Each structure stands twice: as C-alpha cells, then as structure tokens.
Structure 1
Amino acid sequence: MSGTHDCPGCGRDDRVQAVPAVYLGGRDSVSSRERDSDGDVRTVTRTVTTGLSKALAPVPEPPGMAVGCLGYLAVLVSLGTFLGGALGGKWFEAEPAPAEPLERNGYQLVRPESPFGDPGPPPDLDFLGWISAFALIAAVLVFTLVHRRKAVFARRTRGRHRAEELWSRGWYCHRCGTAHFLDVPGEDRRPLTLQQFRERVWEHGGYGDLAAAQRAVAALDD
C-alpha cells in the first residue's frame, strides 16, 4: 500500500505508507513445534515484531513479567518445604500414648526389641516451616509488586486514545526512514526521526517522558 502524497524528505510517494499499516505489517504470529521438559511435542505460537514496528508503537511496552516467575517459584518452594516438613516431621500427628505393659495370666510380658534397634526421635524439621513461611511472604510481595506495576502502567497510559488518534495520522517513508504528519493542526509536515515521532505521539497521550527511557531504534526495514 503506497501513500497518496509526496514525502517531505525525498519528494516522492512510491514508498510512503501509513504508520498503522507499517506497525501492523511488522507483527506476525509464528508457530513452531517444540519439545517440553517431559519430551512431549507441542505447538508454540509467538509474536515476532520487527524493530521498525516497535519503533512506531503508539504506547510504551508494558512492564516485564519476569519478576512474576519468581513469585510462582516462591509459591512452589513454600508448598514443597511445607509438605516436606509436615510429612517428615509429622507436625500434625497426635502424641503417641505411653505403652501399657502387657499382662497375661498375672505375668508381665516383655515386648520384643526391634532387630533394627531403637530408631530414635524423628528428625527436627521445624526449619522447613520457617523456609515455607518466608517463601510465602516473598511470593506475596512479588505478586503485590507485579499488580502495582500493572496499575501504574494503566494509569500512566490512560490517555493512549489521544496518542493513537495522532499516531493514526502519521506517515512513514521507507526510502528516507522518517515519519511525518499530514494535515494535523499544530503539527508541521517536516520529516521526523523515529525518536522524534515517538516523542510527539507519546506526549499527546500524556506519557512523553517515557520516550527517553524507551528510545526508538532508528533502523530501516529490509
């Protein structure tokens, strides 16, 4: 799909394309067959995004979820140590009643000793309970942090509809590697680098300060 007007940089229109079309054209779903840890083959679908599509994104990337994996790991540790301590330490078993002497016909019988000897008291596994508690607290803190990050991101980008309105009126020249606006009040028609285009769009949505932290990669598409 070519543009309907000339690029202000090169003066040609054969490689001018609407920004939304460039953005969506650089996002593909790719499916592949992979083996999991159990050796079973499964189909995995991933979204592959080009650098140009990322540079023209109308909103910042959401906070990463890698820290959430630590929360799930902490939950597994908490459950594992709790079950290990409960089963090995027999935390929930009642105290055994003292053995009463056996008597038969007025004679006291002696219980035979175990051929394996006295097993002794069970091992003290109370430390597993502490590990389980600390792991559970860590999981709660991690999930609270993830929820807070999501809430902050949603609040910061609540004006994304304004940014997308301006973004949808942008054009990109594949020859020059620049973007520009056409017939937008308050915006001139001069060529903009990908970073400048990002700053204009994100400022319109109220989160322009994030453009400095997530800089656009000025890379031309193939």
Structure 2
Amino acid sequence: MSRTTYTCPGCERDDRVQAVPAVYLAGRDAVTSRERNRDGDMRTVTRTVTTGLSDALAPVPEAPSYAIGGLGVLAGAVAVGTFLGGVLAGKWFSGESAHEPPELDGWHLLPQDVPVEPPPAYEFLGWISALALLAAVLVLVVVLRRRAAFAHLTRGRHRAEELWSCGWYCHRCGTVHFEDVPGEDRTPLTLQRFRERVWEHGGYGDLAAEQRAVDSDRS
C-alpha cells in the first residue's frame, strides 16, 4: 500500500518525517499501575502520561484547572453534615423533660421545684451549614464560568485542527512544516512558531505567548 512521503525542507530527507497528529497521539499513553492507598490496601491507578513533544504539538490550549472543585465538594459535605447534625440534635432535645415537668408517683412536680438545665444552643450549626452551602455554590459558579469561558474561547478549534492536521514534524530537525496548505509555504517552523500559526487560525493565538511550546524530550 503506497503512501505519500514528504521530505523535510530543512534536511531534505524523509526517513524521520511524521504527520503531526500521529506524533501528538503517540505521545499520549494511559499507564496502569498498582499502588497502595493511605490505608495500605492495593489499588489499580490509571494515569495519562504525556511527552513534552506531544504537549508542544497540542492544537488547543490547556484547559483551566478545576482543582477548586475539590473545595466545593468539601464545602458541600460540611453543609450537609452540619445540617443533619443540627436536625438530629434538635430532635433529641425536643423530647427532653425540660419541656414538660416530670411525674413522680402520679404527681406533677412544680417547675420551680425542678432545676431545669436549658438545652445547648445548636444555632451555630445552622450558620456553619449556611456558610458552607454558600461556599459550595460559589465554587460551582466559578467552575461553570471557567468551563463556559474556555468553550467560548476554543469555539474555533475545528479551524485550528484543519491547519494542524496538515503539519509534518521532522524528528531529526525538531521542526514542523506544512504541506499542501494554500497560503502557507514549506518553511521549517519551530514548535513555538507552529503553535502560534495553528492557534491563531483557531482564534486563540494570544494564548500561545502564555502557554509556550517546550519540547522537554529533546536535549
């Protein structure tokens, strides 16, 4: 089965020239390993291992971090826990003798004869639950806004991927060039310059200066 072979415009050889999508996908592997958790039990963990070259050839910017979502989950758990604690505590104390004079041999003791200890105040649990719930809602709003902003920013990624898929990477030179793209010549491009071209085509080229392409796999 024949295939189209392109030579690198830098070294004029084709033995180490590979399509950019193939290089990108080859550098992203799922690695499964066995390790112990905090309790000492063995568990299976799957992680995605990405090479520096694959990251450098990414057609879209890195998505914003959603680590703050963990704080939202924690705040939600605190809100539910304190709410249930307040409800249970109030139920327990609702049937105590503090609300009704006790009986002794069929006679009701007078309230002034029985020292009544007021039940503990559990209002603070309600405040903690309300504040934790508010924090959880705020975190959720922040995460949703970040996702919406990223989706809006990368809405032109299909255009970027069209140009990106026409790129060819030379493993010998460490450069990228385009083939058969109207308006684009075959000049060898650095990884950063290739990223700028592709991301500009998708409408988010300004992020190329913030997320610079670095091939840490090359010495």
- Whether TM exceeds 0.5 here: the answer is yes
1:159 to 156, 159, 179: 156
Q: 1:39 to 1:87 in 2, by over 3 A?
A: farther
Q: Paired residue for 1:191?
A: 188
Provide the C-alpha distance between the structure 2 equivalents of 1:62 and 1:94, rounded to a whole number of angstroms: 54
Q: Amino acid of the residue matched to residue 57 of structure 1?
A: A
TM (norm. structure 1) is 0.85
Q: 2:100 maps to what in 1?
A: 98
Q: CA RMSD in A?
A: 2.7
Paired position in structure 2 for 1:201: 198
CA distance in 1, matches of 2:6, 2:108: 108
Partner of 1:46: 47
Gaps of 5+ in 2: none
Q: What TM-score do you get using the length of structure 2 for normalisation? A: 0.86
- Give 1:158 shift: 1.3
Number of residue pairs matched by the alignment: 213
Percent identity, aligned pairs only, is 69
Higher percent of residues as helix: 2
Q: Call closer, same or farther: CA 1:193–1:119 in 2, change over 3 Å.
A: farther
Deviating more after overlay: 211-220 vs 53-62: 211-220
Q: Quick one: distance in 2 between partners of 1:144 and 1:180?
A: 42
Counterpart residue identity of residue 171, structure 1: W
Is the Cα–Cα contact under 8 Å of residues 82 and 125 in structure 2 kept in the other structure? yes
SS at match of 2:205: coil
Q: In structure 2, what is the equivalent of residue 59 of structure 1?
A: 60
1:11-160 → structure 2 map (5 Å cutoff): 11-90=12-91, 93=94, 97-99=99-101, 102=104, 120-160=117-157
Residues of 2 paired with 1:67 and 1:91: CA distance? 36
Kept after mapping to 1: 8 A contact 2:101/2:109: no
Q: Which amino acid aligns with 1:213?
A: E
**8 Å Cα contact 1:198/1:216 also seen in 2:** yes
Distance 1:109 1:56 in 2: 85
Which runs of 5 or more structure 1 residues have no equivalent in the other structure?
Answer: 112-117
Residues in 2 aligned to 1:161 and 1:210: alpha-carbon distance in whole angstroms: 17
The Cα shift of 1:221 comes to 4.5
Aligned counterpart in structure 2 of residue 216 of structure 1, from 191, 194, 213: 213
Letter in 2 for 1:23: Y
SS of match in other structure, 1:179: strand
Q: Secondary structure at the match of 1:130?
A: helix
Task: Answer yes or no: is 1:176 the counterpart of 2:173.
Answer: yes
Give 1:220 shift.
4.2
Deviations 1:146-199 (A, max 9, x none): 111111111111111111111010011111111111121111111111111011
Return closer, same or farther for 1:120/1:8 CA change in 2, 3 Å cut-off: same
CA distance in 2, matches of 1:73, 1:201: 39
